Structure 1
Amino acid sequence: MQRATWWSAVAAVCFTHVLLPPEFFGQQEIAVRKDVANEPPLCLVIMDPLASRLSCPCVEGYAQRDYNALTAYLETTLRREVRLGFGESMEAGLKSAGCGHADIVIGKDSVVRADGAKAATGVEPICALADENGDCTTRGLFVVPADDAAESVGDVLDYAIYIGTSEHSEKHGMALDALREAGLPEPYDVHEVHSCSDAAAEILELVQPTQAVAVISSYAEPLLEGCGTVPKGALRVIGETEPVLFITAFVSQDMDYGTRDRITQALLHVGSDAALCKRLESSEGFVRPPDHVDGSWPGWRGPSQSGHAPQLPARLPEVASVVWSRPLSRSGLGGLAATRTHLVMGDRDEPDSCDVFRCFDTETGELLWEVAYDAPGNLDYGNSPRATPLIENGRVHLLGAMGDLHCVDLYSGEILWKRNLIRDFAVPKNAFSAWGYCSSPLVADGRLIISPGAPEASVVALNPANGEEVWRSPGRPPGYGSFVAVYPGGRCQVVGFDESTLGGWDVATGDRLWTVEPEVGGGFNVPTPVVMWGDRAQFLVSTETDGTRLYELGADGVLIRDALAKTGELSSEMATPVVVGSRVFCVQDRLVELDASDGLATVYAGEDVRLGTYAALISGSSSVLAIGNDCQLLMYDITGNGCRLVSDLAALEEAPQASHAPVYSHPAIVGTRMFIRGPNELACIELVPDEEFDGDEGLGSGIDVIPE
């Protein structure tokens, strides 16, 4: 491979992450405050490639984030000394700070996670840094020389492909996903390079007829030309990956919750300091990280438990395109959880005496691991796990119907810790339902929320890393629905049902903040509360005896009044609604649409023999997908008034089409693929016909209208 002569004259200063002295930037090192509390210093490690100490001042007003200013702010706010270090790795940052252990790490999300996995104690994400446009993400950009013939990622067949190393997800894993989604056959001629400048140099220095494409980080694009690493106009972008989180703030996994909460609140309040935001090149400062921007479906009803799939197609293919399928010995109740690489489901063994949780490769359906344990029982509707697994921070939380809770490593299946809700929290026999434990685990503000239903431990928070108890709240036996997180006044609370009442619990303390006694009562309260769109802390519930109600929480975390609106036109026994703007959709013997902006007025009610007492719904920006009886998929256009059925599909051929049996196991959607569990089959189905999407802006590559 020959080198072009221009490269030898250019110094690649922007992406080697050389630690430059503060004098180079006209800044002074932080002086230790004399008025901080008499506590051990906190160690702050910065691994942000746009930090002034890790970049160069080539582009005015960019890549010069001043973390000295943030350190001074934290010392003042926390009244505690903070030692600051910089490095492209945690080890280098600790050496720079003169510390042996990092308390806070702020850096590129995927890189910090990779480094944290190697540390003696791991790290836990608490918030993300928004850029000047309020965005918390970055993408991989596919670039070619300006005179190359390629116009899209699909045109780079037989090209040499220069990607980043595995810890840089936007230019490695997501880049490989984009190649597959473009339909390019494997194997690829892949070359891993350390930096974006190296990748750009490689493709610009190749001698024809060799053709190559490089994947660079979107945040690096302005610096390549700005620093002279690449001549202006030498590269052309032909495609991009899905977004990933960019700069995330983490705390040490072994940090106590009091300190963790104080640090989290301090960072979340950076947004109120305009001068500090400017020095961090941010419009909003640190914000709560958006859920799973990588398109994963981490647990019950997907990101934020909303039932929303960004790349839901506008219509379904005429024939099911099954990517892979695996036979199952029995049907199940619990939903599916999936990332782009791993699919997790709960099951039972053949004798029906053990819970068995299995993890599959999402691309091939290959079994990666399974966790099995004795769990004898005799429950109504079978003994299969009801709760959907929860994937978070490289872990999976698995809850069986008999109360066995396991936390396992997502990648290996190794059991990290386990609890038994009945034994550990002294649940009396009369509090254990004939349906077993149904509420799916939830992580909110770093706590794993479960509902044992014991008199002294009705709702409990655990440390998700080690299973240790954080708090317990006394109360009633458990409900059947799952909890959701709401943030009135910026403070997190979880909202959900116990056996008979609706309530909200402060996530930091476990205090029950409010209670709603149902007017009618006597229902099973299976549907999950749904958080409404918008800035107000509003949520909606629908139950079989008390209909559908809309509530709002004040800044103090307490209900403003009993209900903003209510209706008896929708009284859901089991199905949880989905929300698109102010529009509410749910199935109870028919598909119903309510308008939350008009007192929950009924907009549409349409019957279909394939929609019975239960059907899961998944929403896009202009479509709603119903998973009907016998694995029948029904796609509705919602761009006009009401709902219009535009396509349907028999998802699984093996499903008995005349049984009219609901699909209780909630499917997962990742990208354009659906993972669905039928009576005797687990399958991966491609949903998109002819590359038509109902995608949110910036996701996918398709349309928002239904072609006639």
Structure 2
Amino acid sequence: MRTSLFARLALLLMAMLAAIPVQAEAKSDDAITMLVMDPLALPLSCPCVAGYAQRKYEVLGEYLSKELGRPVEVVFAESVKNALDKESVDDIHIIIGKDSVVTAQGKKHDFDVSRLARLVGKDGKTTQTGLIVVRSADPAQKLSDLNGYRILFGPSECDEKFAAARALLEEAGVDLPPEKDAEISYACSDGACMIIDWGDKIRGAAVISSYAAPLLEGCGTIKKGDLRVIGETEEVPFVAAFATKSLDKDEQKKLQKALYAAAQSPGMLVALETMLGFVPEDFKPAPTKPVIKAAGKTPAAAAKPKPSTDESKKAANVTPTTRAWPGWLGPERNGHVEWLPSSLPETANIVWRQSFLRPGMGGLAATDRHVFVGDRDAANRADVFRCLDASTGEELWSITQLTIGQLDYDNLPRATPLIYKDWVFFFGAFGDLICADIETGKVVWKANVRLKFLALDKLPWGTCSSPLVVDDMIIVNPGAPTAAIAALDAATGEVRWKTPGGPQGYGSFIAATFGGVRQIIGHTQNMLCGWEASTGRELWSVKPRTDGDFNVPTPVVVGDKLLIATENNGGRLYEFNNDGTINPEHVAVNTKLNPQMSTPIAIGDRIFCVNRRLECFDVAKGLQSAWSARDRTFCEYGAAIASDDRLLVQGRGGELVLVDTKDEEPRILSRLSFAPDKDSAAAELFTFPALVGTRLYVRFEKEIVCVDLGA
């Protein structure tokens, strides 16, 4: 049968195509190969334990591709040799794996690896340990009982299963064979199964990695209770990221910077099952328990508070010996206390220190039994409101509230908690208001006031105002068109009243009586306003002459007048009419009283304020400047607590400065420094301390410290 012309042409075309060599998909010339040897990576482990050993490094690869401007190809292998045996791998630029293993294999294959960062685990550590295990029925109870046992070590390149384990056993007096004769079990599962199979026939022990322990039971390799741990090695480094000499120094620096920054993405923290992401080599984790130091003696009792009907005093939870610091600016919401020491101790009498993972911005509330603080979780996806034991600093309970979004200056709560009756109220930066039982932490009610009242405007700094209690109502400022300010029932969270107005301001409100009218005073975004306390009806408003104030400082009651101080309009003193409305024309002004954040403190006819210096103004002389004191401890923000004749200022690095407020010239009576380290001593703190009795609770960037000022 004759082949048609069409068929012959088709055959010719097929032959020509067949002659063209078929090439595999080419790898980009500038691609970076990232070898992952982390035993907790999903392809190298198993999904037997929910949320553990399922690290998704592909997410890191995509992120690094964007940050480095080069494609990053992720390769998974248990060793460098196995990776190099892959056809797709002709070079390795990044290696992520167990520190000792990568170091050993880097030398073996002449990769000249440079450690760039360590990966923090879910436990907040960058380390692991080796566990010495025996069968549960084995008679050995301590390490020294293992003399004469067959001990299965891990490979010599696994420090936790070899070098650290041998050091531990030798210290316990166990006779071991020379390193070259040590019996090796390459996988933790193999060693565990072997000693179980030996039963009573062979006395044996195995060394397994601490990270592998949950997987042995989770995957069914062993049954729960089959093994018993009788020893644990010292901590050794766990997973780290290395660069090889295939990346030049500049590329390595860029890579290191990108690794450190990866933690800013909550999704990355979840993908890599990490608390803090990649950190520098010298990273020191927060201790799992607080560092407790004995106080030495019982603190002296504070002066018994005078009775009062003011709402802020009702919140103060008075006891026979101490008065609580119930919220923002203390018992009177004006920074005043009955007692301050005549001088500060020569050396700090530290009662306790409690470490935190993230720098704090919100103040503290405290009783003689509890300390309340707003915090964030390690992934920065949720607020964590904590209650600490006032005597020891240990956490008693916590409440976690999931939040969504990203704010300037981190996402931590800005507001100071509020103690009222048997409840504590927390207010997160995303608008979550939570009422909880003081003793148990059980949530009584909660509401997101931004969502509840449909406040849809952008809020770059978040909700900053500390809640205020008035007549069994919690006053907050949602900043919604229908609810610039709102009152919620303290017991139930039900809306008692709400008032339309402008967007949210950043300062906290006060309750005060002017012209015989009880009112709430504070800022919206652009206006100073007064609202009737019982109904929320707006009584008056004042627009400043100059726009652009952030309106952070809290209004201050000075006798029968109101002091307002902001960065662009300075300090202004206002009088009120008999009907409770404000006279919009101030009676005194001083543009030098212009803090951006610090709230002024009034003592008699004097106003004190920290704004890169400590300044004093005379109310009787129309806010005239009385004196100004320069000192390196005075920053842009400074918290201050006042008695009748003294002022305690929290300065740079938490340094305390006690000032005489009666003198005609600035006079520092004493000072006290107790920052935990050099970096902390240089840091500017944006938190407000709490004073209960003689104990002052100070929030540093990474810890809360209780110091006794009466010792």
Question: What TM-score bracket applies, with the shorter chain setting the length?
Answer: 0.5 to 0.7
Gapped runs of 5+ residues in structure 1? 1-179, 186-238, 249-267, 269-285, 690-708
Q: Give the aligned residue type for 1:673.
A: R
Q: Does the alignment pair 1:343 with 2:371?
A: yes
Contact 1:593 1:642 in 2 (8 A): no
Contact 1:314 1:637 in 2 (8 A): no
Measure the CA separation in 2 of the matches of 1:638 and 1:564. Answer: 24
Q: Give the aligned residue type for 1:592.
A: E
What's the CA shift string for 1:437-460, capped at 9, x where partnerless? 000000112221100001111111
Contact 1:627 1:634 in 2 (8 A): yes
Contact 1:407 1:418 in 2 (8 A): yes
Measure the CA separation in 1 of the matches of 2:564 and 2:347. Answer: 36
Contact 2:317 2:421 in 1 (8 A): no
Task: For 1:568-647, list aligned pairs within 5 A.
Answer: 568-647=591-670
1:398 and 1:247, CA in 2 relative to 1: closer, same or farther beyond 3 A?
closer
TM-score, scaled to structure 2: 0.56
Measure the CA separation in 1 of the matches of 2:535 and 2:557. Answer: 22
SS at match of 2:332: helix
Measure the CA separation in 2 of the matches of 1:683 and 1:344. Answer: 13
Q: Across the two proteins, how many residue pairs are aligned to each other?
A: 415
1:374 and 1:297, CA in 2 relative to 1: closer, same or farther beyond 3 A?
same
Cα offset, 1:340, TM superposition: 1.3
Cα offset, 1:313, TM superposition: 1.0
Measure the CA separation in 2 of the matches of 1:240 and 1:391. Answer: 21
What's the CA shift string for 1:245-271, capped at 9, x where partnerless? 8899xxxxxxxxxxxxxxxxxxx9xxx
Task: For 1:321-332, list aligned pairs within 5 A.
Answer: 321-332=349-360
Counterpart in the other structure of 2:692 = 670
What's the CA shift string for 1:145-203, capped at 9, x where partnerless? xxxxxxxxxxxxxxxxxxxxxxxxxxxxxxxxxxx999579xxxxxxxxxxxxxxxxxx
SS at match of 1:630: helix
Contact 2:654 2:681 in 1 (8 A): no
Cα offset, 1:377, TM superposition: 2.1
Q: Does the alignment pair 1:366 with 2:394?
A: yes
Which of 430, 441, 449 lines up with 1:402 in the alignment? 430
Contact 1:631 1:655 in 2 (8 A): no
Measure the CA separation in 2 of the matches of 1:290 and 1:595. Answer: 31
1:335 and 1:658, CA in 2 relative to 1: closer, same or farther beyond 3 A?
closer
Task: For 1:70-469, list aligned pairs within 5 A.
Answer: 183=297, 243=304, 293-294=318-319, 295-428=323-456, 431-469=457-495
Measure the CA separation in 2 of the matches of 1:355 and 1:292. Answer: 26
TM-score, scaled to structure 1: 0.56
Q: Give the aligned residue type for 1:568.
A: T
Counterpart in the other structure of 2:587 = 564
Measure the CA separation in 1 of the matches of 2:494 and 2:312. Answer: 27
SS at match of 1:598: coil
Q: How much is the aligned-residue C-alpha RMSD, in angstroms?
A: 2.6
Q: Does the alignment pair 1:507 with 2:533?
A: yes
Cα offset, 1:652, TM superposition: 2.3
Q: Does the alignment pair 1:477 with 2:503?
A: yes
Measure the CA separation in 1 of the matches of 2:335 and 2:490. Answer: 23
SS at match of 1:398: strand
What's the CA shift string for 1:89-121, capped at 9, x where partnerless? xxxxxxxxxxxxxxxxxxxxxxxxxxxxxxxxx
1:348 and 1:657, CA in 2 relative to 1: closer, same or farther beyond 3 A?
closer
Measure the CA separation in 1 of the matches of 2:635 and 2:684. Answer: 7
Contact 1:401 1:438 in 2 (8 A): yes
Cα offset, 1:550, TM superposition: 1.0
Measure the CA separation in 2 of the matches of 1:325 and 1:633. Answer: 17
1:595 and 1:475, CA in 2 relative to 1: closer, same or farther beyond 3 A?
same
Measure the CA separation in 2 of the matches of 1:314 and 1:477. Answer: 44
Q: Give the aligned residue type for 1:519.
A: R
Measure the CA separation in 2 of the matches of 1:445 and 1:552. Answer: 25
Counterpart in the other structure of 1:496 = 522
Cα offset, 1:557, TM superposition: 1.1
Identity of aligned residues (%): 41
1:241 and 1:344, CA in 2 relative to 1: closer, same or farther beyond 3 A?
closer
Cα offset, 1:552, TM superposition: 2.2
Q: Give the aligned residue type for 1:604.
A: W
Q: Give the aligned residue type for 1:569.
A: K
Cα offset, 1:335, TM superposition: 0.3
- Over 4 Å off, 4+ runs: 180-185, 239-242, 244-248, 286-294
Q: Give the aligned residue type for 1:467.
A: G
Q: Give the aligned residue type for 1:466.
A: T
1:595 and 1:246, CA in 2 relative to 1: closer, same or farther beyond 3 A?
closer
